[in-house]
Amino acid sequence: MAVSDRPYVIASAAVSLDGYIDDVTEARLILSNDEDLDRVDEVRAWADAVLVGANTIRADDPRLLVRSEARRAARVAAGRPATPAKVTLTRCGKVDPGARFFTAGDAERYVYTCDSTVGVVRSRLGAVATVVGAGDPLELPRILADLRGRGIERLMVEGGGGVHTLFLSAGVVDELRVVFAPFFVGQRDAPRFVGAAAFPQGPDARMTLAKAEQLGDLVVLQYHPR
C-alpha cells in the first residue's frame, strides 16, 4: 500500500531484553523512564492520531494525550488539535465507554470494527466515538485509507503486540522505534512485542538502523523497514 494512500506510520514499543512488553500481573510494567516518556511524548505531538489495540485499552486504560504544555501549545499555534486523535481496533467491541481512551481530552476518537459487529459496537460506543466497519475480517488497508481520508497523515502505533504484529506483517510501518529496558521478564504467558507472523522484515530484508540512542539505562533503536 503506497504511503500516499495511507498515513505515514511510526510504530513505537518499550520492550524487555527478552522481548516482552508487559508481565502477567495486573499492574502496568514500568519499562520506561522519564527521559523516554518525554521522547514518546514528542512522537505523540508529531502524530495526527495514535492507535492502540482494544486489549491495551482494557489492560492499561491509557489516556494517550500529549503531556507537555509547550507541545500542546505548539500544535494549537500550528492550527492542529492540542492532542492527536485516538484510534482503536476491536473485533468483539467489548471496550468500556468509560475508559480514559474515550474520556480523557477532547480529541476525536475512532473505533474500527468488523462489518458484522458494527451495529452492536455502535450501540455500545457510538456516543463516545465514531465507529467504522472495515471488512470481515478487519482489513487494515481499508482502515488506513479511511484514516487518510479523515485527514490523518501521521499515525503513531503504540501497541500492543497484536497490533504491532498486524502492522509490521502488513508492511505498513515506515519507522520502528523500540526502547529496550535492561531486564528480563521471563514469563511465558506475558505479552510479547510481536507474535508469530510472516514478517516482510525477515532475515532477507534486514531493516536499516537509522539511530541508536542511550537514555539512562535504556537504549532506543530507530529502524526503517525497507
Ligand X SMILES: NC(=O)c1ccc[n+]([C@@H]2O[C@H](COP(=O)([O-])OP(=O)(O)OC[C@H]3O[C@@H](n4cnc5c(N)ncnc54)[C@H](OP(=O)(O)O)[C@@H]3O)[C@@H](O)[C@H]2O)c1
Residues in contact with ligand X by CB under 6 A are: 13-14, 21-22, 28, 31, 52-56, 59-60, 89-92, 94, 138, 158-163, 166, 191
Question: Measured from the CB of residue 76, what is the shortest distance to ligand X in angstroms?
Answer: 27
Nearest distance from residue 77's CB to ligand X, in Å?
Answer: 29
Decide whether 13 or 172 has the Cβ nearer to ligand X: 13
Q: Which of 9, 31, 10 is nearest to 21 (CA)?
A: 31
Which of 85/143 has CB closer to ligand X?
143
Q: How far is the CB of 39 from ligand X (least distance, A)?
A: 12
User: Which is closer to ligand X, CB of 133 or CB of 161?
Assistant: 161
Query: Looking at beta carbons only, is 69 or 145 nearer to ligand X?
Result: 145
Identity of the residue numbered 111? V
| 151 neighbors 157 (Cβ within 8 angstroms) | no
CB of 158 vs ligand X, minimal distance in Å: 5
Which residues, in sequence order, are CB contacts of 16 under 8 Å at separation 6+?
Answer: 29, 31, 180, 181, 183, 184, 185
- Which triple of cell numbers denotes residue 211? 539511530
Q: Could you tell me the sign of the dihedral formed by the alpha carbons of 183, 184, 190, 196, in that order?
A: positive
Q: How far is the CB of 14 from ligand X (least distance, A)?
A: 4
Query: Which ranges of the chain does DSSP label H, i.e. alpha helix?
Result: 34-46, 54-60, 69-77, 100-103, 118-125, 140-149, 161-169
Give the residue with the Cβ less far from ligand X, 45 or 64: 64
128-167 residues labelled b (16+ CB within 10 A) or e (exposed): bbebbbbeeebbbeebbbbbbebebebbbbbbbbbbbbbb
Least Å distance, CB 58 to ligand X, is: 8
What span, in angstroms and rounded, lies between the C-alpha atoms of 122 and 194?
A: 29
Residue among 125 and 152 whose Cβ is closer to ligand X: 125
